[in-house]
Amino acid sequence: MNKRNLIAFAFLTVVGVFLIFSTFMMHPFGDPNEQAMDQYIIDNTVDETGANNGVTAVVFDYRGFDTLGEATVLFTAVAGVILVFRRLKK
């Protein structure tokens, strides 16, 4: 294990300890302590957006701008792949 690997391994263990330790500080899995935003969405999805699927209502109506960003990410990736695989000589 040369020196570089040792430093990298030390870094990895530090990050790992931080992560494992932080998982126990998180709210217990199953009863989230805050519920203001999501409870509002669950209560009036049907009458505000007319959709039955809560997740689609959030994706397209409550947080629709994220999905516009989402569609742009996909559009960028396709444009990037086409740009990288183009023929170089005109």
Partner 1 sequence: MKGMSTIVKTTANISFPFILIYGLYLIAHGHLTPGGGFQGGAVVASGLVLMLVAYNTEWISKRIKESHLSIFESLGALSFVILAFLGIIFGTAFFSNFLVGTETLFGGIPLNGAADINTGGIIPLMNFAVGLKVIAGLFAIVYIMAHFISKKEEKIA
Partner 2 sequence: MNFIDLIMSHAPALLVVIPLLGAFLTPLISKINDKVRNIFVIGILGVTAVFVLLVAQQVLDTGTITYVFGSSLQTVQNNTVIRILFEIDALSIFMALVSIILAFVASIYSWGFLEKETGQDKYYTLLLLMTAGMLGMVLTGDLFNFFVFIEITSIASAALIAFWTNKAKAVEAGFKYIFISTIGALFILFAIALLYGQYNALNIAKLADSITFTYLDKIALIIFISALAMKGGIVPMHMWLPDAYGRAPAPISLVLVGATQASIYGVFRVLFTLYGNVIHLPKISFGWILVLLGLITMIVGVIMAMIQTDFKRLIAYGAVAELGYIFLGVGTGLTIIANPDIGISSAPFAVEAMKGSIFHIINDALDVGLLFMVAGAVYYATKETSLNNLGGLARNMKYTTIFFIIGLLAISGIPPMNGFASKLLIYESTYQLNPIISIIAILSSIMLLAVFVKIFQSVFLGPKLKKFDDVKEVPKSMLIAMGIIASIIIFFGLFPDLIITNLVEPAVNALIHPENYLQWLTGGL
Partner 3 sequence: MIANIPYVAVAVLIIIGLYTVIFRKNLIKMLIGITIIQSGVNLFLVSLGYREGGIAPIFTSVPNTDSAMMYPVPQALTLTSIVIGVAVLALMLSFIVHMYRHTKSLDVRQFGGDDQ
Q: Report the residue number, 41 or 51, with the smaller CB distance to partner 1.
A: 51
> Which position has the token pair 């935003």?
37
Largest CA distance in the chain: 63
- Distances from the Cα of 29 to the Cα of 25, 32, 37, 54, angstroms: 11, 7, 18, 21
Q: How far, in Å, CA of 80 to CA of 18, rounded?
A: 36
Give yes or no for residue 65 binding partner 1 (CB under 8 A): yes
The entry of partner 1, partner 2, partner 3, none near residue 16 (CB within 5 to 8 angstroms by kind) is partner 3
Residues that bind partner 3 (CB under 8 A): 5, 8, 11-12, 15-16, 19-20, 22-24, 26, 28-32, 35, 37-38, 41-42, 45-46, 52-55, 57-59, 62-63, 66-67, 69-70, 73-74, 76-78, 80-81, 84-85
List of residues 6+ apart from 62 with CB closer than 8 A? 41, 49
Give yes or no for residue 60 binding partner 1 (CB under 8 A): yes
Question: Hey, is 33 helix, strand or coil?
Answer: coil
Residues near partner 1 (CB under 8 A): 46-53, 55-57, 59-61, 64-65, 67-68, 70-72, 74-75, 77-78, 81-82, 85, 87-88
